[in-house]
Amino acid sequence: MTRLTPDTALADLDWVPRNRLTALARLGLVTLGDAVRHYPRRHEDRRRFDRFPEEEMDRPVCLFGVVKTTAVKRIGGWKRMVEMVIEDESAGVLGQPVTCRWFNLPYIQKMIATGDHLVVFGRPKKRGHQIVIDHPEFEVIEEDEISIHMNRIVPVHPAGDGVTARLLRSLIDQALRQTDLALLPGLLGRAGAGVFRAMHFPASFEEIAQARRELVREEFFSIQVVIQSRRAEWRQLSGSAKNVPGVLLDRLWESLPFALTTSQRGVIAEIRADLGASRRMNRLLQGDVGSGKTLVALAAMLLTVEAGWQSALMAPTQILAEQHYLNFRRLLDPLGIRVALRLAGRSENSVPGDFSGVPPEKREAPPPQIIVGTHALLYDSSEFTRLGLVVIDEQHKFGVLQRARLIERGDAPDVLVMTATPIPRTITQTLYGDLETSFLREKPAGRGLIQTAVRPTEKLPDVVDFLRKQIEKGRQAYIVYPLVEESDKLSAKSAMAEFEKWKPLLAPHSVGLIHGRLAPDEKEQVMARFRAGELAALVATTVIEVGVDVPNANIMVVENAERFGLAQLHQLRGRIGRGAHKSFCILLHDPKVEESAVEKLQVLEATSDGFEIAEADLRLRGPGDLIGTAQTGLPPFRLGDLTRDSEVMLEVTSLAARLFDEDPALEKPENAAVKVFLADSRAKLAASAG
Ligand code: ADP
Ligand code: MG
């Protein structure tokens, strides 16, 4: 039999039902290759089914039985319930039947008839004397079933509207038989045929595990070749060596009321060595909230300026850009350094230029030496006449690809990326495998302690009392609400409602409101008033999450804290504990929330170590939530899981790194396949980033 290529369209195959093509496409299945890469969600052992349960269980069971009765029952109003009783034929009269129930899915009844044989999968519960399974997965088995659906380990694929798991199973079985699997794009080549068969229709569970591992390796490798190729390219670019005595630095340090921490000094030395070398710097600085990253950035910028180059700092939000700008001006105006602020709708220069005696047509301000801004900088770069350094603050808010875009500039600037989200090692390797890494491990001394308390919302009155007392002592507070990224509109609305609630509670002290829907200058005004101490409390959405620095604010109340991830709460909490006063973080949760959610929050009561929290978060939620795809610019993995498969990721990373060490441009003939794979992976990554 001649086999078909993987890019053969399903629409061109007469055995694929016409009326299912659209539904298949909705699942991403357009070609044979797509079908082969549509991996099962789980496998079911249909060689030996579970016994019909007699008690409630905490895990799902897989049963094979015959349908005794089906009925539709009314359950109040217009609601209907389909109820079906199945029995184990082999158990005879003593067997305990199981009742399956579906609520408000009346069409289910049409799919099942008395006497049908059925495979059912779901978790049994006890209701009165009955054992019931609500909304089980089920599949009707034909009389003379031998084939792929019975008496073996059976794949259950992600199904969709109009496409059942059963239909997919047949389709994928056919696709595996008809496709020349050695031609599938990817790295598995000839070996691939066996891997794909084992993944879908394994002879044993060990086979699945092995096949999965192969596929995860390939999947991770497709990310790592891209990252490591970038690193290889980067290494070949030469930048400019910026060796300076550091006069500006010395003057800055003299003007500070405190000494640098040992960590800060160490990292600045690393950066200084990078800047002084002719190779371009490409460095990631990880430091917990409040560890003093800004000064490190400033040091790098000053060294660059002293060498006669411009430096740019990109911040993820306008508030942050504004804050950095003000902070830099305070520190740099005395040194006579020209700083500029560039936001989407606004720009400002610290030195407008001295126009006395200059004819109007020649009135040009001298170019700024340091430029602070938001993403807008990415697009409008005309201003950089001689860009020597780009600092990207709070990198986790930028996509990997955006970063690439800014730094692929002609003048080959050095790059320093800073992040406050402590990142577990696997993820660092995945997302930042192309960067050298520095850590700020210690925090400046003399920081106020933060005490964290997890409480149910009913305690709000006590919290208000406490807040009022602190405010009367001159302190300030943040009151934070969740619901942000998904719907700005919704969160703005709830923040506004909460604002109205808090005003009388804290009167006569004044309360401010800040959320993502405010115009940039409105946001800045509110922040300015808060910073100046005119507002005692600030009701906010997570726009204040990153970087905001108001040392006098020592209280944070987070409502519905259970809706945030731990890493995000840790970020938020980093807004306080910045001054000398003791700080308090009160995490209020919905009293109805599960015990486990409360326990999760209590991790924050127990530790303030960002790395510990990040690892806990990764364990509890998985990497998808920790670093959303939108933020990373990475497509979601189909099979791989950075928690479960972290070993594989580390292995693949060093494999890819070695590959590029030996053959940076993949020119050796034996690397030809990898080169094609790289091009393909790059295209996919770019497509997924939109
Ligand atoms: P982050 O690492 O979260 O960006 P910042 O750079 O905003 O932290 O620093 C937080 C605060 O700590 C700022 O007010 C900053 O001036 C102060 N700070 C930085 N370094 C030191 C130090 N060595 N000693 C005391 N305070 C410091
Ligand atoms: Mg910061």
Would you say the pTM of this structure is higher than 0.75?
Answer: no
Residue 552 CB less than 6 A away from ligand 1 = no
Contact 373, 325 (CB under 8 A): no
pLDDT at 629: 38
Q: Rounded to 5, what percent of the chain is helix, strand, coil? A: 45, 20, 35
Q: What is the mean pLDDT of residues 300-319?
A: 91
Q: pLDDT by residue (tens digit) across 12-67?
A: 999 999 999 999 999 999 999 999 999 999 999 988 899 999 999 989 999 999 99
Q: What is the mean pLDDT of residues 428-443?
A: 78
C-alpha–C-alpha distance, residues 487 and 71, integer Å: 42
Residue nearest ligand 1's atom 15 by CA: 292
Give 292-319 as a DSSP string. -HHHHHHHHHHHHHHTT-EEEEE-SSHH
Q: Among the atoms of ligand 1, which is closest to the Cα of residue 327?
A: 16
Q: pLDDT by residue (tens digit) across 461-506?
A: 999 999 999 999 999 999 998 754 445 555 556 778 888 999 999 9
CA dist 690 → 229, 399, 401, 677, 686 (Å): 21, 11, 10, 20, 7
User: Given the structure tokens 């964290």, which residue do they identify?
Assistant: 452
Residue 420 CB less than 6 A away from ligand 1 = yes
Q: How many helices, marked H, and strands, marked E, lie in the chain?
A: 23, 23
C-alpha–C-alpha distance, residues 680 and 678, integer Å: 5
C-alpha–C-alpha distance, residues 640 and 644, integer Å: 8
Which ranges in 261-366 belong to alpha helices (H)?
A: 262-276, 293-306, 318-332
What is the token pair recorded at 349? 């220069």
pLDDT at 529: 93
Ligand minimally distant from the alpha carbon of residue 261: 1
User: Given the structure tokens 């942000």, which residue do they identify?
Assistant: 484
C-alpha–C-alpha distance, residues 686 and 690, integer Å: 7
pLDDT at 572: 85
How many residues comprise the chain?
690
Residue 122 has pLDDT above 70, yes or no: yes
Centroid of ligand 2 to alpha carbon of 579 (angstroms): 15
Residue 103 CB less than 6 A away from ligand 1 = no
Q: What is the mean pLDDT of residues 621-630?
A: 45
Question: Per DSSP, which regions of 590-639 are E strands?
Answer: none
Pocket test for ligand 1, best of 285, 288, 549 (most atoms within 8 A of CB): 549
What is the token pair recorded at 80? 């209907």
Q: pLDDT by residue (tens digit) across 234-264?
A: 777 777 889 999 999 999 999 998 999 999 9
Ligand minimally distant from the alpha carbon of residue 260: 1
Centroid of ligand 2 to alpha carbon of 486 (angstroms): 24
Which H/E stretch holds residue 209? helix 205-236
Residues at Cβ < 5 Å from ligand 2 ion:
547
Pocket test for ligand 1, best of 252, 255, 258 (most atoms within 8 A of CB): 258
Residue nearest ligand 1's atom 4 by CA: 293
Contact 495, 478 (CB under 8 A): no
Residue 531 CB less than 6 A away from ligand 1 = no
Residue 258 CB less than 6 A away from ligand 1 = yes
Centroid of ligand 1 to alpha carbon of 378 (angstroms): 27
Task: Give all domains of the chain, ordered by start, each with its CATH number.
Answer: 48-151 (2.40.50.140), 247-353+366-440 (3.40.50.300), 450-622 (3.40.50.300)
What is the token pair recorded at 418? 């800073």
Centroid of ligand 1 to alpha carbon of 390 (angstroms): 20
Q: Among the atoms of ligand 1, which is closest to the Cα of residue 440?
A: 2
Residue 573 CB less than 6 A away from ligand 1 = no
Ligand minimally distant from the alpha carbon of residue 299: 1
Contact 410, 283 (CB under 8 A): no
> Can you tell me whether residue 500 is helix, strand or coil?
helix
Q: Among the atoms of ligand 1, which is closest to the Cα of residue 289?
A: 3
Residue 549 CB less than 6 A away from ligand 1 = yes
Pairing of strands 42-45, 153-156: antiparallel
Q: pLDDT by residue (tens digit) across 393-406?
A: 866 555 555 556 65
Q: What is the DSSP letter of 456?
A: E
Centroid of ligand 2 to alpha carbon of 609 (angstroms): 17
Residue nearest ligand 1's atom 17 by CA: 292
What is the token pair recorded at 302? 């000053």
Phi first, then psi: give them for residue 441, nearest 5 degrees. -90, -25
Residues forming a β-bridge with 84: 70, 100
Contact 306, 627 (CB under 8 A): no
Q: What is the mean pLDDT of residues 443-447?
A: 74
C-alpha–C-alpha distance, residues 358 and 7, integer Å: 68
Residue nearest ligand 1's atom 23 by CA: 260
Pocket test for ligand 1, best of 258, 294, 554 (most atoms within 8 A of CB): 294
Q: Among the atoms of ligand 1, which is closest to the Cα of residue 551?
A: 14
Centroid of ligand 2 to alpha carbon of 323 (angstroms): 10
Residue 570 CB less than 6 A away from ligand 1 = no
Residue 388 CB less than 6 A away from ligand 1 = no
pLDDT at 296: 97
Q: pLDDT by residue (tens digit) across 152-184?
A: 899 999 998 889 898 999 999 999 999 998 888
Pocket test for ligand 1, best of 249, 261, 295 (most atoms within 8 A of CB): 295
Centroid of ligand 2 to alpha carbon of 328 (angstroms): 13
Contact 56, 124 (CB under 8 A): yes
